[in-house]
Structure formats: C-alpha cells, structure tokens
Amino acid sequence: MTSIEHLNPIKAPKEIVYQALISQEGLGKVWTPKLSVRPEVGAINEFDFDEGYITKMKVLELSENERVLWECVDSDEEWIGTKISFELIEKDGITDVVLKHYDWRELTDFYRFCNYHWAMFLKRLKDYCEGK
C-alpha cells in the first residue's frame, strides 16, 4: 500500500484550521461548494466534483483542534477504502497541517493526479485560513 503525504504551514491558530476542515463553509471554500457536511463521528460527508458520482467520506475521528480522519466509502474506485487524515500542530502562531491520504492499493496515474490536487487543496486551505 502506498500513501500521499503533505506538510503545509498556515499562519493561523489551529482552531481556525480545524473549523475549516470540519465545516460546510470551510470545506465549501477550499474543496467544492457542492457538499453536505456534518462535523460528527459516523457522519457520511458528501462532496460533488461534477464527475458523475458523489464522493462520500465517513468521519472516523474528530479530535478537536488536533486531528480529523475520514474513510472514503464511495467515490472513484481507487479511493474507496482509503483514509485521509489531517493532523494539526501549532507552534508560535503557525499551524502545520500534515495531510495523509493512505491505504492506496497501488501507485497509478490517478494517484499522481490526486497527489497534485491535494497540494492545491492545501494551498486553498492556507489562503482561506490566512484570510486571502
């Protein structure tokens, strides 16, 4: 199994970053505006990227201001069963976001495509949380 990992420093308190990652407003600004999100463990969050299917993420963990963990339960075949975590580490007013998208079955062109797009997601998250 392989994984995607990124580290992105954001000049904002981890409380702001955490809210962006669990809220309809935040995820709507940084991922897709077509979504249905509930910030509770067990919820199935839905994201529509206009690709002919809805990506569904089950919320496995919400450790307030520390960590968010999802499991993909429906999406592109390569995503189903993968997990996505966001770990937040704050020091001196900077919050490091460690994104991990893991349990990929193999390294494919779609994996490479997603790796790039996770970096773009983190750039939008940074801009949103820093008020840009």
Query: Which domains does the chain possess?
Result: 2-129 (3.30.530.20)
Q: Which residues pair with 48 in a beta bridge?
A: 54
Q: What is the pTM of this model?
A: 0.95
* Distance separating alpha carbons of residues 58 and 26, to the nearest angstrom: 18
| pLDDT at residue 130 in the model | 97
Q: Which residue has the higher pLDDT, 124 or 2?
A: 124
pLDDT in tens, 58-111: 999 999 999 999 999 999 999 999 999 999 999 999 999 999 999 999 999 999
- Taking each continuous run of H as one helix and of E as one strand, the counts in the chain are 3, 7
